[in-house]
Amino acid sequence: IKKQQQDVLGFLEANKIEFEEKDIAANEENRKWMRENVPEDSRPASGNPLPPRLFNDSRYLGDYEAFFEARENNAVYAFLGLTAPPGSKVGEHLPPTAP
């Protein structure tokens, strides 16, 4: 979990994307908020959802696997619900156009 959290935070910091980190280990309110805001269909079959979980304000975006997939597809800004900066390598992924 820690490695995944560091991966997400490192990416956001490197790309100068503003974010707010919420510690659910030390803050019961943050833990409760996360559990209440992860949609039913994104929860594990048993137990509670584990971090890292990404949100844009209170809108649930996904877990680490969804973030990783978006990063691999150069679609992180779209995943995060943000507009990619001009010339960004991780902008919205556009399918190749036909010749």
3-state DSSP assignment of residue 63: strand
Residue 47 lies in domain:
1-80
pLDDT band at 2 (very low <50, low <70, confident <90, very high): very high
* Percent of the residues in the chain that have a pLDDT greater than 90, as a whole number: 82
Q: Is residue 96 part of a domain?
A: no
Determine whether 1 is exposed, middle or buried from the number of CB atoms within 10 Å of its CB (0-12, 13-18, 19+).
exposed
pTM above 0.85, yes or no: no
Q: Is residue 93 part of a domain?
A: no
* Total number of domains in the chain: 1
Q: Is residue 76 part of a domain?
A: yes
- In degrees rounded to 5, what are phi and psi of residue 16? 55, 45
pLDDT band at 85 (very low <50, low <70, confident <90, very high): confident
Q: Is residue 99 part of a domain?
A: no
Which range is least confidently modeled, 40-44, 51-55, 85-89? Answer: 85-89
Q: Is residue 15 part of a domain?
A: yes
Q: What is the CATH number of the domain that holds 68?
A: 3.40.30.10
Q: Is residue 89 part of a domain?
A: no
